[in-house]
Structure 1
Amino acid sequence: MNAAAGPVATLETALAHASRLLATDPALAGEQATEIIKAVGDHPMALLVLGVSRRARGDIDGALGILQPLATAQPNSAMAQLELGIALGRARQGDEAVAALRRAVKLKPDLPQAWLALGDHLMAMDDAEGADAAYANHVRYSTRDPQLLAAANALHEQRIPEAEALLRAHLKRSPTDVVAIRMLAELAVRLGRNEDAEHLLARCLELAPGFHAARQNYALALHRANKPARALAEVETLLAVEPDNAGYRNLKAVVLCRIGDYEPALELYAAILEDYPRHARIWMSYGHALKTAGHQDRAIEAYRRSLQLNPGFGEVWWSLANLKTVRFSAEDLAIMRGQLDKPGMETEHRQHLEFAIGKALEDASEFEASFRHYQRGNDLRREVLQYRAGDTTKRVARIVRGYTREFFAQRAGSGSDAPDPIFIVGLPRAGSTLIEQILSSHSAVEGTMELPEITSITRELRGQGDAGQTMPYHDVVESLGADALRRLGERYLEHTRIQRKTEAPFFIDKMPNNFLHIGLIQLMLPKAKIVDARRHPLACCFSGYKQHFARGQSFTYSLEDIGRYYADYVELMAHFDDALPGRVHRVFYEDMVDDTETQVRRLLEYCGLPFEDGCLRFFENKRAVRTASSEQVRKPIYREGVDHWRNYDPWLGPLKQALGPVLDSYPAVPEFPLAR
């Protein structure tokens, strides 16, 4: 019995020794595995060590030549599936890698390395929800500490208060435990405490600069916090260590798109698609980037490739419709209707399909059927939103009360003297992209995008209340002195610098909702220009109603809500016209269409710019355009859109009622306040 045990023990010892060598000397590990195979034949563990050794030494084909037959012969071996998945990933066979990694975690859920690799692939595929879940499982299974494991399980099961209590208790005893700090950061993200998460992850990296999973989380947190320059620096650090990591490359492409560097982002997406050619979501992201960069034909081709892979991908159908230049065929419409009729269709896909079919029927002049699809799409979208029109009305009333002539007079001379920004405000679909395209065709003006920086500043101001309590940011603004307001202006200029690609002295911030923050803009950037884009209320509101926005604009999914929002907007702008006479220049879309040159000259005069003929040939401007009007502003102005809403007039009663005197008075402004 003892004699028989000897060879077995020797084999186990040799295999264990070869496995340990993988971390320090993969070549020697491979040599030992080869010797074991010569002695005992194709032992699964020895083959696994040999395959990993070859992968570690960069011999990916050699590794796959061993690991693929091994995984086939050992279908229940989680480690064989894991190592095959990693090797396939290195071989740029992303879809096959994901399949192997999914098999690995199904066989053995507590494999942190498999979850991390799977998360990276899902991140590359633009599956943010799936990636987040995989990364959460990586955190969950990365620890063997019983208390941390309990906290990870609580976090995984959404028992947030319990997870937070366990983590804080653990960190009291072990304040430098980076795994616990990273878990607490994940918890903060789930609670919406993004700034806390950012600080925690920065602390992680102070303690453990090589903690790459935490660095990736940190880059994501910075990206979501509108800090693209810092996010990009963290991604570059990760890519310096692992240049072929698909998740890192995708994140870099996303950040590059955020800052307007589309051509290098397109190169990254094209390379990622070589790894994941059968993934519909990446083709869609590629299409989005191509569209924004002005490559419309290539964008359409990318969207069509996505639909070949997933005919029920509602967002892609809507993306085609949203180009405003694509006309769907009868076959397209039949496919969309067939997908919509499928039981179990996800709500998100259903929403997009309703809007896309609405657009297809609109183009076919079937307006009543078109309206019904738009209505169903809006109803579905509104069900998942928390918008309340009364909250906006109260918000406007608070601004009107606080930002008076006297208030501004008392703070004259505050803020930064920089004249660089030109803010274009108003409602979406009011012609702001057209104004931006005209202005950015001037040699002294650069068009950027809808910059989120003002929103970021207001969010931070809200958190500056007593004891960190969230409060209306206007209350905080009222307490700020001249120096603090100047610093806010300088901060805005610093944080938007990355969006500026030319030496033009002026740049455009086209975030329409900034009309709610004109008071803040005046205080921190008193020399900035503010242009209000206004369009007939029925044309503007219905155009917004039939638009499925990628994010935000929650007021657009009900005719009543959007009508009340438009009325609130008109009231607030009338207030600022009174409190800051001449401060805001208004452009009526209909006037711009009827007499373009006169309106362009007035606009340039307001901005202090000499007239340039290029502003009348704005449609020749090849810059990237990120809004729903991207293709329309690449063509000369046309009148057809001015009265298009009349095709839907029979069904706009709720909108007309919500608009009330604002509709009757247009383009003049009624007496405020209105009874609403």
Structure 2
Amino acid sequence: MATVTLDQALANARQLLNGQPDAALAQARAIIDEVPTSSAAHRLAAQALRALGREEEAEAASLAAVSAAVHDEAMVAAALALAENRLPDAEGALRGRLREDATDVAAIRMLAEVAGRLGRYEDAEKLLSRALQLAPGFGAARANLATVHYKQNRFAKAAETLEAVLGDDPDNPAHANLRAAALGRIGGYDEALALYAELTRRFPDHAKLWMSYGHMLKTVGRQDDGIAAYRHALAADPGLGEIWWSLANLKTIRFGAEERAAMEAALAAADPTRTQTALVAAEPDSDARADDRLHLHFALGKAYDDAGEHGPAFRHYAAGNAIRSDQLGYRAAETSAAVDAIIAACTPEFFAARAGAGNPAPDPLFILGMPRAGSTLIEQILSCHSAIEGTMELPDIPALALGLGRETKQDGRRWIEALAEAPLADLGAAFLERTAVQRKTDKPFYIDKLPNNWLYTAFIRLILPNAKIIDARRHPLDCCFSNFRQHFARGQAFSYGLGDVGAYYRDYVRLMAHIDAVQPGRVHRVIHETLLDDPEAEVRAMLAFLDQPFEEACLSFHANARAVRTASSEQVRRPINRDGVGQWQPYEKWLDPLKDALGPVLTAYPAVPADFR
């Protein structure tokens, strides 16, 4: 069939769709008989079948159209633009395609990929949901939807979606790996470990799989097994910097001269062409060389620190931080502006006008503050209490706040303004619903220990007025330098510059001082060094604030076998100690940018500077 004849036949079929779906179907099938690779004809057949109420046949026709799209020059061109990361070109071509035919599920899925790469996950989710509505059996779209759920921190939904995907494609290692990661985020450790054990059996030389397995083993307290998994990963790929950092991040391993030499050699040999078969769909590696180098720098910083060679240690920490800072592009002024806006908006009158408007549930207990300030220790202590369940760092408070801003102001940074008219009780209920999957016991209270929730303290007070809040605070130089030495798996963009982390700490202190002033007694502060010096007195004070009786088990927190995901996982499995106190001191001559950024917060610690109120 000549091209013009094909175009005419397609146009005729489209006209017949309006009122004569039977005739349109016959025309589409006639075209398919002559040109089986015509994706347009398959889509027309699907539309006609759908108009006739023959949904199963319509779905099959939609999937046939997806298969035929590989022969479509326009779709091949859009796919090439995606592969070359020419996102505006791909988006323009795909939107044009969908203006012509809004039921082209292949184009819908590709447009969702564009949206996902641009971080527009809500748009990606809507597009993929539409594709699956048209073609429920479109496995690639369903797998993409699971990745979008994972990126949105909706881990339970990602795991559920992946269960369906694996039902259709049980041998797909990428899907199994992502499901294991999602299960780990919602406390499904046994199933996650079983998946990783099976994956490493099938792919015994895949370094990143062994590394992920090691992460999960470490989380559940199987440190020796975790170290063995990391060592297996290193044997498979000695140059993969993230494995060296994973070992260093245990905080219990001291690297010897031979291992330092191996890391230095790997750093010198870091090569952008070195690749590893990608099985972690949720965490694509955009710059293998930079990522390897930054991980190796952080690991070498720890190695030289252990050896007492502070000059080389600081040089490596600074180099690793510089790479990550360039990648993230953190702007300290934006955090300061957000704090200014919260302080201006959240006056005593603002709170008084909304008293009792939130959800009354007392269940959540928030531990917040700076990362590396002792929040994991506090959680470990409190989770030993018979009435309190520990969970992990939950992403839901920031997600709800930023989502509120997007819905009302079309700008995720404007949630503060949106609070004035926000449905506070509904938001509190949404938090309880979203976090229910994290509760594994019948204890009446549970902990969310996301440190960065300090920025949302006012939001928490409004949507969950009966929830308890504990502020974990550590000496600013110890806390900030500990952040500078730490490479975080995600987030914490402020931590990769001494000036930035100091400014972040200062903003945190001034916002918490404001909360103390406008909501007196609503936040209980735990000074880390005081907790180390007199743990029983501090534990009793915390439990009194929580209206819970003292229990001796809380003082034996290190015996608690619960899973711990944070960088302090191994430290809180030891009795209380002062090993982390004063670790900034050997590096003092390099810390002037940090001291300058901290300003009066440094000299006033642990008190709050009066001019901050």
Flag whether TM exceeds 0.5 (same fold). Answer: yes
Answering whether residue 539 of structure 2 is matched by residue 600 of structure 1, we say yes
Equivalent in the alignment of 1:453: 396
Paired letter, 1:587: V
Match of 1:647 among 572, 583, 586: 586
Query: Cα distance, 1:194 vs. partner?
Result: 0.5
- Residue 354 (1) aligns with residue 297 (2): yes
Q: How many Å separate the matches in 2 of 1:349 and 1:652?
A: 26
1:367 equivalent in alignment to 2:310:
yes
Q: Distance in 1 between matches of 2:501 and 2:258?
A: 34
Q: How does 1:565-644 map to 2 (within 5 A)?
A: 565-644=504-583
Q: Does 1:479 align with 2:421?
A: yes
Structure 1 position 265 matched with structure 2 position 196: no
Question: Aligned ranges for residues 226-245 of structure 1 at < 5 Å?
Answer: 226-245=153-172
Between the aligned partners of 1:350 and 1:512, the Cα distance in structure 2 is 27
3-state DSSP class of the match of 2:390? strand
Letter in 2 for 1:477: L
User: Secondary structure at the residue paired with 1:423?
Assistant: strand
CA 1:622 to 1:469, structure 2 compared with 1: closer, same or farther past 3 Å?
closer
Matched, 1:421 2:421: no
Q: Closer, same or farther in 2 for the Cα pair 1:365/1:469, shift >3 Å?
A: closer
CA distance in 2, matches of 1:596, 1:446: 20
Amino acid aligned to 1:625: V
1:465–1:471 CA contact under 8 A, matched in 2 = no
Q: Which moved more, 1:598-607 or 1:212-221?
A: 212-221
Measured in 2, the distance between the counterparts of 1:457 and 1:321 equals: 34
**Is structure 2 residue 348 aligned with structure 1 residue 405?**
yes
Q: 1:513 aligns with which of 435, 440, 452?
A: 452
- Specify the SS of the correspondent of 2:471: strand
Give the 3 Å change call, closer, same or farther, for CA 167–373 of structure 1 in structure 2: closer
Task: State the 1:168 CA deviation.
Answer: 2.5
Q: How many Å apart are 1:672 and its aligned residue?
A: 2.7
Equivalent in the alignment of 1:113: none
Structure 1 residues 140 and 533 mapped into 2: Cα distance closer, same or farther (>3 Å)? farther
Give me the TM-score of the superposition, normalised by structure 1.
Answer: 0.77
- 1:169 to partner: Cα distance: 2.9
Partner letter of residue 538 of structure 2?
Answer: Q
Q: Which runs of 5+ in 1 are unaligned?
A: 1-109, 111-137
Equivalence for 1:120: none
Contact 1:140 1:152 in 2 (8 A): no
Question: C-alpha deviations, 1:71-100, integer Å up to 9, x for none?
Answer: xxxxxxxxxxxxxxxxxxxxxxxxxxxxxx
> CA 1:155/1:245 → structure 2, altered by over 3 Å: closer, same or farther?
closer
Give the alignment partner of residue 383 of structure 2, picking from 440, 443, 450. 440
Q: Shift of residue 141 of structure 1?
A: 8.6
- The aligned counterpart of 1:171 is 98
**Aligned partners of 2:250 and 2:567 also within 8 Å:** yes
CA distance in 2 between counterparts of 1:458 and 1:139 reads 38
The verdict on how the C-alpha distance between 1:430 and 1:271 changes in structure 2, with shifts beyond 3 A counting, is same
Q: Which amino acid aligns with 1:525?
A: L
Q: Which amino acid aligns with 2:439?
A: R
Partner of 1:562: 501
Aligned to 1:189: 116
The answer to whether the 8 A contact 1:222-1:230 is kept is yes
Contact 2:304 2:310 (8 Å CA) reproduced: yes
| Superposed CA offset, 1:556-598 (max 9, x none) | 1111111111111110100000010000000000000000000
Counterpart of 2:16 in structure 1 is none
SS at match of 1:428: coil
- Post-superposition shift, 1:411? 0.5
Q: Secondary structure at the match of 1:447?
A: strand
Q: 1:139 to 1:188 in 2, by over 3 A?
A: farther
Q: Which digits, 9 at most, give the CA deviation of each residue in 1:291-346, with x for residues without a partner?
A: 01110000100111111111111111111111010111221111111212226461
For residue 113 of structure 2, what is the amino acid of its counterpart? E
The structure 1 residue matched to 2:76, chosen from 149, 153, 162, is: 149
**Post-superposition offset of 1:228:** 2.3
Q: What is the Cα deviation at residue 555 of structure 1?
A: 1.1
Q: Residue 670 in 1 paired to residue 605 in 2? A: no
Does residue 462 of structure 1 match 2:389?
Answer: no
Q: Does 2:481 align with 1:542?
A: yes
For 1:490, give the aligned amino acid. Answer: A
Query: How far 1:247 moved relative to its partner?
Result: 2.3
Q: Is the 8 A contact 2:321 2:484 kept in 1?
A: yes
Between 281-290 and 370-379, the greater mean CA deviation after superposition: 370-379
State the Cα distance separating 1:374 from its structure 2 match: 1.3
1:503 equivalent in structure 2: 442
Per-residue CA deviation, residues 262-319 of structure 1 (Å, 9 max, x unaligned), is 1211111010011110111111101001101110000100111111111111111111
Residue of structure 2 in register with 1:657 after alignment: 596
Tell me how far apart the structure 2 counterparts of residues 341 and 250 of structure 1 sit (CA, whole Å): 31
Task: Tell me how large the CA RMSD over aligned residues is.
Answer: 1.9
| Corresponding position of 1:430 | 373
Pairing 1:488–2:427 present: yes
Runs of at least 5 residues in structure 2 that lack an aligned partner in the other structure:
1-36, 38-64, 273-288
- The equivalent residue for 2:52 is none
Shift in Å at residue 140 of structure 1? 11
Which residue type is aligned with residue 365 of structure 2? I
Call closer, same or farther: CA 1:610–1:361 in 2, change over 3 Å: same
What residue number does 1:36 align with?
Answer: none
Distance 1:371 1:232, change over 3 A: same
The match for 1:161 is 88
Question: Does the CA-based 8 Å contact 2:239-2:270 persist in structure 1?
Answer: no
Please give the secondary structure, in 1, of the residue aligned with 2:611.
Answer: coil
- Superposed CA offset, 1:156-192 (max 9, x none): 3333333333322322332222112111211211222
CA pair 336-505 structure 1, distance change in 2 beyond 3 A: same
Equivalent-residue separation in structure 1 for 2:431 and 2:418 (angstroms) = 17
- SS at 1:320's partner residue? helix
Deviation at 1:399, TM superposition (A): 0.8
Q: Is the 8 A contact 1:139 1:152 kept in 2?
A: no
**Is the 2:78–2:89 Cα contact (8 Å) retained in structure 1?**
yes
- 1:444-502: CA deviation from partner (whole Å, max 9, x where unpaired): 11111110011211231121235x4555111111122xxx2111111111011111111
Distance 1:511 1:244 in 2: 35
Match of 2:326 in 1: 383
What is the SS of the residue equivalent to 2:569? coil
State the distance in 1 between where 2:221 and 2:452 align: 25
Distance 2:151 2:95 in 1: 25
Please tell me whether the aligned partners of residues 141 and 149 of structure 1 are also in contact (alpha carbons under 8 angstroms).
no
* CA 1:243–1:554: 2 relative to 1, 3 Å: same
CA separation of 1:635 and 1:671: change in aligned 2, threshold 3 A = same
Structure 2: how far apart are the matches of 1:276 and 1:232? 22
- After TM superposition, the structure 1 stretch with the greater mean CA deviation from structure 2, 172-181 or 263-272, is 172-181
- Sequence identity (%): 54
